[in-house]
Amino acid sequence: MHKAVPTRFLKNKRPCPKTSDKLRKPLFAVLFTTTLLFPWFVGVFTLFQRAWAPSPPPFSPYIQYKHAPHTLENITHTRLGDAHSVRLAHVSIPGYPDQPKEPNDKPLIAIAAPSRSRPTWTTIGDAEVVHTLIPSVVRTVTELERSRYRFKLYLAVDDDDAFWKAQQEHIQDKVPTWLAIEILVLEKQDRIPFNRMMRKTYHDGAEFMVRINDDTEFGSTEWATKGIEMLASYDPPWVGVVGAVETNTKNIAPPANLLPHDFTHRVHMEIFHGEYYPSEFSNWYMDDWITRVYGKARTTKLLDWTLYHHAQDPRYSPRTDQFDLLAPTVQRGQRRIMEWLQGRCENGGENMLDVPFRPVTGKRTVPRAGAGAGTGKHQWMCMEQCSCSALGVPEF
C-alpha cells in the first residue's frame, strides 16, 4: 500500500519538459536571426562591397571603356605621317629610338589648354594653370616617361587679356626644366581658339596632343603611356581618340557618352586637313563631335586614367544654338575618315602605303619590291577584294 506524499512535496513538484518545449527557444533564435539579423548583415555587407568595389562602366553607344593594353614595348613600326622615316630595330614610339642621343629626338607630347583670366586674379599664383594644372602634370609624369618623351604645355590666351600679357614671363619660373611652356597670344575672336592652338602644336612637330582646360588636374600617373598604348592598339594604329574618366570638384562625372578632354595622334590633324574640331563650332559641342566621329571601336575612355575638372562659372557664353550642326559635322567627319582610309586601299589587291602601318595579326605585310629593309615601307595585302574593312574602318 502506497503512502500518501506530503503536501509540501506536491507543491514543489515540476512537470517534465516536453521535447517541443526544449526546441522552442532555439527555434525562436533561428527565426529571429534569419528574418531580422541576417538580412541586416547582408545589407551592410552589400553597402561596403559597393563602396569599395569599382563600379562597372556605364553603357555608351559611342565610347568603349577599357584599361590600357600595355603593349607598347612590342610596337616596331615606323612613324605614321613620315614616309621618309628610317625603321629602327627597337622603338617604343614609331620612328623614335628608346634611348635617343639628342633631346630633340624624343617625340613631343603637347598639352594644350586655352585660358582666360578671371577678375580675381592678381598674381600668377592665382591662375588655375599654376596652382592646379602644372603641379598635377609634374606629379603624374613619371621619370621613365620624361626619358622617352618631350613634354610642352601650350596656353592660348586672347590678345586683350591684360593679366596674361603682363604675367606670361613669370610663368616660366613655375615649371620644371623638362616641361617646356609657351603662351600663345592670339587675336580675340568669337570662339575659343582650339583650332589655332592645336594647329600650332602640329606645326611644332607634336606627335601626340592632349587637349584639356586650364583648370584640369591630372590624377593618374603614366597617363601619357596609357594614352599612347591605346592609340597604338587601334587598327590601323593612331586613327582614333582616347579620353579619361573624369569628375569635377563636386564629384559629378560628365555624361557617359562624352569625352570632355581628348588625346590624339598628329594623324588626326592630317585626316581633317589641319582642323582639330569643325570650324562651325564656337565653344560648345566640340567634345560631342570628337566623341562620335571615330565610331565606338576607335573611341576609348581609359578606366585607369583619371582627370579632375575644377569647373567654375564658364568664362564664355555657351553657344547651345549650334546643336543642329552636330549631326551633319559628324557625318562629314566620318566620310573624311572613310576617304582617308580608302586612299590606302585601292581596288586591285595591293597598294603600297606611303604612310606605313604596324603589321596587324591576320593581315600580311611584305617589304616593298626593290626597297631595303631600312626604308620602313610596306605593301598592305588587302583582303575581301581590297575593301577598306580590311583596314579596320569604323562602324559608325
d(CA 222, CA 131): 21
Q: Give the residue among 356, 329, 385 at the shortest CA–CA distance from 88.
A: 356
Most confident of 106-115, 320-329, 359-368, 386-395: 106-115
Helices assigned H by DSSP within 105-212: 128, 134-140, 143-148, 162-167, 194-203
Mean pLDDT of 204-220: 94
Exposed (0-12), middle (13-18) or buried (19+): which is 241, by Cβ within 10 Å? buried
CATH superfamily, domain at 69-341: Spore Coat Polysaccharide Biosynthesis Protein SpsA; Chain A (3.90.550.10)
The C-alpha torsion from 72 through 73 and 74 to 78, rounded to 10°, is 70
| Mean pLDDT for all residues in the chain | 74
d(CA 63, CA 298): 8
Q: CATH 3.90.550.10 in the chain, residues? A: 69-341
Helices 286-293 and 326-342: crossing angle in degrees, nearest 10, is 40
- pTM above threshold 0.75: no
- Looking at residue 83, its pLDDT comes to 29
Beta-strand pair 208-211/179-186: unpaired
- Choose between 70 and 76: higher pLDDT: 70
Q: Give the residue among 357, 360, 359, 349 at the shortest CA–CA distance from 384.
A: 349
DSSP annotation of 13 reads -
- Looking at residue 255, its pLDDT comes to 72
d(CA 106, CA 98): 9
pLDDT for residue 392 is more than 60: no
Q: What is the pLDDT of residues 340-382, one digit of tens each?
A: 888 765 533 333 333 333 333 333 233 333 333 333 333 333 3
